[in-house]
Amino acid sequence: MNNDICEIVADEAALEKKVAEIAAEINRDYDGKVPVVVGILKGSVIFYADLIRKLNMNCELDFMAVSSYGSSTVSSGVIKIKKDISADVTNRDVLVVEDILDTGNTLYLLKDYLLEKGAKSVRLCTLFDKPERRQKPVKPDYKGFVIDDLFIVGYGLDYNEKYRNLPYVGVLKKEVYS
């Protein structure tokens, strides 16, 4: 199936290694703390699950659902919060876990939003970073892979709600979405 829809950019072994590296950094930085770890649905769910299992600290888990893509391969720039967090983040350290940092619009909004809700600190973690697409001044505190401006799917990332369950990440062939 992978040759039909995409070219693999990160196989299962590469993803597992990168998640372990990110978790080690988070474990070091949050030593002695109990952060609220917020997964951004739906795209981060697989990365989030793998990541939190490698955290050797107490942490509270929560989720938010936001959207800026719809059924397009390009962010609309309009952010909609579809599901808010349920945790009280007042005076808490918050770690936001996202699948991909693209324009920065979503994480820029979420960081400010969580700080306005009283978070003591907000750090950003992303598995994929596309710095050349950045529209907002957002830098992840933890990142996995830096990629060019490519449309990728798998390991939680989707195109029109498809391909999230692929165990690898690949560049979606244009004929699939053209």
Kindly name the residue from 50, 93, 102, 129 that is annotated as catalytic.
102
102 is catalytic: yes
The CA distances from residue 46 to 89, 127, 149, in Å, are 24, 11, 22
Q: Which two tokens stand for residue 176?
A: 């699939």
Beta bridge partners of 154: 157
1 by Cβ neighbours in 10 Å (0-12 / 13-18 / 19+) ranks as exposed
Residues with active-site annotation: 102
